[in-house]
Amino acid sequence: DGGITQSPKYLFRKEGQNVTLSCEQNLNHDAMYWYRQDPGQGLRLIYYSQIVNDFQKGDIAEGYSVSREKKESFPLTVTSAQKNPTAFYLCASSRKIAGPWPDTQYFGPGTRLTVL
């Protein structure tokens, strides 16, 4: 089946640890995104990538890092510098990032990160 997978579904981190959230897509999409969702809030963009080996900061990139070594994969690392990392993290992808059509973003099932 084509789609976006995220793992793990639940993740627990001790303070001071870095953790990496996985996002994989087999839709042959060019662009991938990471969003953070907090209770009572909409989604906020952390990082996005248009092509392999290229990515840009979103609105709340501090304390996070990403890589895009393969078209299918866009892992997110939550570093110890992120002061309040407990949240729900959603990965999305879209077919292309520019052009006249909206290039709808499709989302994975998400990862719930809790800092102990």
Partner 1 sequence: AQTVTQSQPEMSVQEAETVTLSCTYDTSESDYYLFWYKQPPSRQMILVIRQEAYKQQNATENRFSVNFQKAAKSFSLKISDSQLGDAAMYFCAYRSGAGKGANSKLTFGKGITLSVRP
User: Residues interacting with partner 1, by CB under 8 A?
Assistant: 31, 33, 35, 40-45, 48, 50, 56, 58-59, 88, 90, 92, 94, 97-98, 100, 102-110
Closest separation in Å from C-beta 84 to partner 1: 18
What tokens does 97 get?
A: 């990032």
98: CB partners within 8 A, 6+ apart:
none
**CA separation for the pair 101, 91 (Å, rounded):** 21
Closest separation in Å from C-beta 38 to partner 1: 10
Nearer to partner 1, 17 or 109 (CB): 109
**CA separation for the pair 76, 58 (Å, rounded):** 13
